[in-house]
Chains A and B, each alone.
Chain A
Amino acid sequence: SQKIEQNSEALNIQEGKTATLTCNYTNYSPAYLQWYRQDPGRGPVFLLLIRENEKEKRKERLKVTFDTTLKQSLFHITASQPADSATYLCALGHNYGQNFVFGPGTRLSVLP
């Protein structure tokens, strides 16, 4: 069956450092991979989308990579700030039909 793993339940880093979150998947061949941010008590909010034929995508301090050979995506936040503290979810999707699957999330804490 399809499985998505995110590196750890929780990740603590110091302010100013780069946070790197991992999303690994098995038994799945996604056409797209998305990253969402979720704050406590709120719904997820879309951050970035990367297609299977793209190696890397950037948006401000965010960078996502997608390696279909390793079946892995890396999500980087550079110059992290306490305001970046949240849970980050990866989600995989196909071109057709509803086969959109979310990972369990990683809770990031950026310490001042």
Chain B
Amino acid sequence: NAGVTQTPKFQVLKTGQSMTLQCAQDMNHNSMYWYRQDPGMGLRLIYYSASEGTTDKGEVPNGYNVSRLNKREFSLRLESAAPSQTSVYFCASSLGLAGLETQYFGPGTRLLVL
């Protein structure tokens, strides 16, 4: 039981390049999330998926797209990376969508955009 896994762990991109961050969970959770974490700003929600087949914008969605491939997998795509997207990205999952549910986080992807 691996919980939430993310790939890659580290990535360096040049401005304008694209990439996809992968996330998978094996807890049969319905809801999945993508956050970014920057120094002094806490975790900010980029996109979330309440259930398979649905996605919605969070607080900071600009410059990102997501795909809920199936119940297990939720990917985040940067179409044209910018230096402002340098951050640590966390994927999380929870059984349901509400403040009552515990979120389980992956180990993070550290992204540097030059």
In this complex, how many residues of chain A approach chain B with their Cβ under 8 Å: the count is 29
B74 within 8 A of A: no
B53 within 8 A of A: no
- Nearest chain A residue, comparing its CB with the CB of B103: A46
Determine if A100 and B102 form an interchain contact, defined as CB atoms under 8 angstroms apart.
no
A interface: dominant SS: loop
Determine if A100 and B40 form an interchain contact, defined as CB atoms under 8 angstroms apart.
no
Q: How far is the CB of B106 from chain A (nearest CB, A)?
A: 5
Determine if B42 and A43 form an interchain contact, defined as CB atoms under 8 angstroms apart.
no
Determine if A89 and B42 form an interchain contact, defined as CB atoms under 8 angstroms apart.
yes
**CA–CA, A98 and B40, complex, Å:** 22
Q: Which residues of B pack against A, CB within 8 Å?
A: 4, 35, 40-45, 48, 50, 56, 58, 90, 92, 97-100, 102-108
Which 9 pairs, one residue from A and one from B, show the smallest C-beta to C-beta distance? A93-B99, A43-B105, A32-B99, A102-B43, A104-B42, A46-B102, A102-B42, A44-B105, A98-B48
Q: Which residues of A pack against B, CB within 8 Å?
A: 4, 9, 30-32, 34, 41-46, 49, 51, 89, 91-100, 102-105
